[in-house]
């Protein structure tokens, strides 16, 4: 029973130290930054390249090519 209490106390201390240090470091980072700095960056989404749509036949043959390129020793019979 004593071991469980000690393990629980160690867990609580570890969590308090971890979150206490994280809070301290976040406070330092916020204080060091200027007020005009936003906590996120706005990035424009990239526009997709204009390519012709692949037909079902193109997709099926490309899948077959990818699968046939990776043969294992079990498939070869070694």
Mean pLDDT of 49-62: 61
Measured CA to CA, the distance from residue 35 to residue 9 in angstroms comes to 40
Mean pLDDT of 6-22: 97
Q: Find, among 17, 19, 38, 36, the residue nearest to 27 by Cα.
A: 19
Percent of the chain whose predicted confidence (pLDDT) is above 70: 47
């Amino acid at each position: 029973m004593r071991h469980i209490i000690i393990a629980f106390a160690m867990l609580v201390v570890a969590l308090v130290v971890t979150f206490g240090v994280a809070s301290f470091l976040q406070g330092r980072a916020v204080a060091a930054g200027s007020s005009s700095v936003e906590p996120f960056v706005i990035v424009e989404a990239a526009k997709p390249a204009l390519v012709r749509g692949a037909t079902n036949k193109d997709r099926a043959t490309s899948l077959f090519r990818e699968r046939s390129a990776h043969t294992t020793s079990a498939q070869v019979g070694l």
